[in-house]
Structure 1
Amino acid sequence: MKARVLVVDDELSMREFLTILLEMEGYQALSAANAEQALKLLSDDLFDLIISDVQMPGLNGIELLARVKAMSPDTAVLMMTAFSAAEQAVEAMKLGAYDYIAKPFKVDEIKVLIRNALEKTTLKRENTVLKQTVLQRDSFYGIIGSSPRMREIFSLIQKVAPSSSSVMILGESGTGKELVARAIHNCSPRSKKTFVAVNCGAIPESLMESELFGHKKGAFTGAVGDRPGLFEQAEGGTLFLDEIGELPLLMQTKLLRVLQEREFRRVGGTQVHKCDVRILTASNRDLQGQVKEGTFREDLFYRINVVQIMLPPLRERIEDIPQLLESFFKKFTSAQPTGEIITPTALKALMNHSFPGNIRELENIVERSLILDSTCILEKNLPANIFSGKSYSASGGVEIPEEGLALEPLLEDLEKQYLLKALERTHGAKKKAAELLGMSFRSFRYRLAKFGLDSGDE
């Protein structure tokens, strides 16, 4: 679509000149003889750029600028005047003018200003649309979810991605820390370069230095040739160090030096290699606790913890479970769902489960269920632990009467009794009751609401 530009000037000759110039440059141009006319047009239509004179009868250009920014913040405004007034220029820029040009001006000069202003406006609007799209959809670079917690994560990823600052991603096992790291890389200016991921706990301590920094031929037994390390492989891109808390203290020291100096040597080598690598780390451990215990270097912790992203466990965003189920269903069946992918009773059971293994556990449950029945996730195909909580066990075993029993109402009644007992024990303090049952406050409130027991207070 053609960019829309509004020219505001009380001089007819200037309006006609700029209108013709804009149309010759391929823009759609309208004009107004004063600020009042311009505001009326702006109230009915959207403009990418407004070129306004400062000195006009009635509302002047500065007052018009303030009104425009209040009505349409993304519209760029270019001010022009026949009077050289530094005070007005400063005031206009403070109010949000894109730029300021004095009459008479050169045609080539104003062409450049117009082009640059429109490019900035277009980029700003595209970014706004992108952010709105991200917050409205159910996935972001492979991360599934539309709950408030996940929308906050998506927004944070967008904010940190453009920089080269280190990011630490924390969360329980199975919450999707590597997916977040990949999303940061894919959103960043480094997206066309390599993303390298390594699990620090999966590499033997004796090989860790060689893995990270590479080695020269003959550096140790088995080094039959030169080999680049992960830092070299990730040059210009992103290196993701998963389970950073597993890194031995000696390697922590060497990693810290590389992060500070931005250079390293291969094992057995003398040549210094410069590196341009963004470091992302992840852990399911309490790294600050490790710092206090002396098993993790404090200076390294602060070096890699410039920005921190805390991923919520699945039990604290249960509203995302239906979307995750649909995604995993598509993954394991390679087909678009045409009907019900899970029975109501099976979904209810999953929504009530605490998911100690988080998203990875849910994915395994879906895969198992679809192996047993490829068309729908059925309650009978769910693992037994979905229906048995850790805090309850029958010491003498369980008995099923000859006539059978209705398991679901029995489990619901048991769950309700535990909720009420916890509230009784804590004298109605819901947060304490949730802690007593080993669940999050959000999950506790969800279960209360299910039985109509939630009064809405704390």
Structure 2
Amino acid sequence: MKQEGAILVVDDNPDILIAVKLLLKQYYQTVITTDNPFDIEKLLKEQQIEVILLDMNFNHDAISGQEGFYWLKKIITQDPAVVVVLMTAYSDITLAVEAIKAGAADFIAKPWKNEQLQGVVAAAFSHAKDKQRVNKLTRQAQGLNQALSNQKFEFLGQSPAMQTVFDTIEKAAQTDANILLTGESGTGKELAAHAIHMASNRSAHPFIGLDMGSLAESLFESELFGHKKGAFTDAKEDRVGHFELAHGGTLFLDELANLPAQQQATLLAALQNRQVTPVGSAKTIDVDIRLISATNENLPQAVLDNRFRQDLLYRINTVEIRLPPLRERIEDIPLLTEYYLDYFNQKYKRALSITPGDLELLCRYSWPGNVRELAHSIERAVILSDSEYVDIRAVIPADACELPGRQISEAAAENNHSYDTFDLEILEQRAVRAALKFHQGNVTQAAKALGLTRGAMYRRLERYDL
């Protein structure tokens, strides 16, 4: 079987070109020949070339080899991954040493034996593949450092609505199906995408996210597909696109509904062909990604309004998962509050708690910004607190603090406890007793009213011998 890849032979002797091509095409998929070294730049732009066999002398009677060194330098500058083997009829040790120092991988004298040429080319081809792998890993590492976001929060929930989400994720993650995450802003779509990736067979490979809503139209192709140095004014070096960075793993495109029509068509072509072409290059790159998209818009309605391509919608939503707003999963607020309070306590080196009354305020508030707003509110409360408790009233709207109370307030009113002490442990014991009485001994409902997990509730029942 012929090896995949291309070899370019550059020599001004047509007999040499024919002989080399007849020999090497038995072993390599593509063998290109030219008698004009000025073709090299164009050929390197048009396709991926692994090895170049380069004559050192192109002018009649030239024996210095300086032409070969000139073109060697040009090749290395344009594409450092190419492996160059210099060849000449006027060889000596000094010239060979100079060739290697200048960047050539090897040096071969004419005339040669076919076995000798085959060996030199095979070694050069293997070296080229190694360089490509190392170069790709290096570029990916550089790109990953730019693309990877900061530490992510955990994707939490114990409500029935979230259990449905978790069940769907578990089923969909085991496939390579494209997934569309829908829901209001702040419901945790990016966290859900991370959860899908970590539960999938691609979890050992990169998770790369890109916010399409913040992406300038002029940078769309560069960000997604990469670009070559010099492709446009600010392209001062090669850049790996997000598709290539996510190769083998997951590509997460957030706020997908913001794409203009032309960019939708470009994205659809890349998804269908599983290939991308960096800006400024004629070479395509094969990509293997699992696409997860997210939007807070109604894409079917956008299709009816001619704002979104129907064929792209079909491509991206093999499985659709809706993330419920926080007002539909109020029972998750105590769990989320405990998690974020612990997280920001560690981050800001605090040791703050939350009172049952403030936890009740959190459960009463409608949270138009959903989980993201809750996390930001807890963070601000931790930063602003001057006592051992966070002050939720300082970080949520005043009108939310004036809403009629539920659950804990009702339980307290039912038992009409007077504040004859300010001992927190005694007050907590009374609140636990009142909640149990109000909910007729139902531990789950009492725990929910107090803003506690079942485990935390049972610890208090044991502590107070209830």
* TM-score band, normalised by shorter chain: 0.5 to 0.7
Q: Structure 1 residues 291 and 310, CA, compared in 2 at 3 Å: closer, same or farther?
A: same
Counterpart of 2:238 in structure 1 is 226
Contact 2:202 2:249 in 1 (8 A): yes
Counterpart of 1:364 in structure 2 is 376
The Cα of 1:235 is off from its aligned counterpart by 0.7
Contact 2:364 2:403 in 1 (8 A): no
The Cα of 1:338 is off from its aligned counterpart by 12
Counterpart of 2:260 in structure 1 is 248
3-state secondary structure, aligned to 2:193: helix
**1:423-453 deviations in Å (ceiling 9; x for gaps):** xxxxxxxxxxxxxxxxxxxxxxx9xxx9xxx
Write the letter of the residue equivalent to 2:187.
Answer: T
Q: Percent identity?
A: 45
Write the letter of the residue equivalent to 2:164.
Answer: E
Counterpart of 1:269 in structure 2 is 281
Counterpart of 2:338 in structure 1 is 326
Q: How does 1:246-395 map to 2 (within 5 A)?
A: 246-334=258-346, 341-373=353-385, 375-385=388-398, 387=400
3-state secondary structure, aligned to 2:227: coil
Q: Structure 1 residues 225 and 372, CA, compared in 2 at 3 Å: closer, same or farther?
A: closer
- RMSD (Å), alpha carbons: 2.8
Alignment partners' CA distance in 1, 2:161 and 2:250: 25
**Normalization by structure 2: what TM-score?**
0.52
Alignment partners' CA distance in 2, 1:238 and 1:377: 38
Matched residues, number: 258
Write the letter of the residue equivalent to 1:375.
Answer: E
**1:140-180 deviations in Å (ceiling 9; x for gaps):** 98211111111111111111111111000001100100000
Alignment partners' CA distance in 1, 2:379 and 2:352: 16
Alignment partners' CA distance in 1, 2:272 and 2:252: 17
Write the letter of the residue equivalent to 2:178.
Answer: S
Alignment partners' CA distance in 2, 1:370 and 1:168: 35
The Cα of 1:376 is off from its aligned counterpart by 2.0
Counterpart of 2:111 in structure 1 is none
**1:251-298 deviations in Å (ceiling 9; x for gaps):** 110110111111121112111111101110000111111111111111
Write the letter of the residue equivalent to 2:390.
Answer: I
Write the letter of the residue equivalent to 2:333.
Answer: I
Counterpart of 2:167 in structure 1 is 155
Is 2:203 the counterpart of 1:203?
no
Write the letter of the residue equivalent to 1:326.
Answer: E
Alignment partners' CA distance in 2, 1:221 and 1:279: 31
3-state secondary structure, aligned to 1:312: coil
Contact 1:141 1:183 in 2 (8 A): no
Contact 1:263 1:272 in 2 (8 A): yes
Q: Structure 1 residues 296 and 377, CA, compared in 2 at 3 Å: closer, same or farther?
A: same
Alignment partners' CA distance in 2, 1:386 and 1:247: 38
Contact 1:345 1:379 in 2 (8 A): no
Q: Structure 1 residues 352 and 271, CA, compared in 2 at 3 Å: closer, same or farther?
A: same
Q: Structure 1 residues 380 and 271, CA, compared in 2 at 3 Å: closer, same or farther?
A: closer
Alignment partners' CA distance in 2, 1:376 and 1:355: 21
Flag as ranges the 4+ runs of structure 1 deviating above 4 A.
337-340
3-state secondary structure, aligned to 2:164: helix
The Cα of 1:248 is off from its aligned counterpart by 1.6
Q: How does 1:8-157 map to 2 (within 5 A)?
A: 142-157=154-169
Alignment partners' CA distance in 1, 2:403 and 2:285: 63
Structure 2 residue corresponding to 1:167, chosen from 162, 166, 179: 179
Alignment partners' CA distance in 1, 2:154 and 2:320: 20
Contact 1:353 1:386 in 2 (8 A): no
Greater gyration radius: 2
Alignment partners' CA distance in 2, 1:195 and 1:309: 19
Counterpart of 1:188 in structure 2 is 200
**1:373-395 deviations in Å (ceiling 9; x for gaps):** 2632335434234527xxxxxxx
Q: Structure 1 residues 338 and 239, CA, compared in 2 at 3 Å: closer, same or farther?
A: closer
Write the letter of the residue equivalent to 2:198.
Answer: N
Counterpart of 1:69 in structure 2 is none
3-state secondary structure, aligned to 2:239: coil
Alignment partners' CA distance in 1, 2:170 and 2:403: 43
Write the letter of the residue equivalent to 2:358.
Answer: A
**1:31-65 deviations in Å (ceiling 9; x for gaps):** xxxxxxxxxxxxxxxxxxxxxxxxxxxxxxxxxxx
Alignment partners' CA distance in 2, 1:339 and 1:273: 51
Counterpart of 1:127 in structure 2 is none
Alignment partners' CA distance in 1, 2:368 and 2:199: 30
Q: Structure 1 residues 340 and 368, CA, compared in 2 at 3 Å: closer, same or farther?
A: closer
In structure 2, runs of 5+ residues without a counterpart are 1-151, 411-444, 450-466
Alignment partners' CA distance in 2, 1:260 and 1:146: 38
Write the letter of the residue equivalent to 2:231.
Answer: A
Alignment partners' CA distance in 2, 1:310 and 1:384: 28
Q: Structure 1 residues 271 and 150, CA, compared in 2 at 3 Å: closer, same or farther?
A: same
Write the letter of the residue equivalent to 1:376.
Answer: Y
**Normalization by structure 1: what TM-score?**
0.53
Alignment partners' CA distance in 2, 1:311 and 1:269: 40
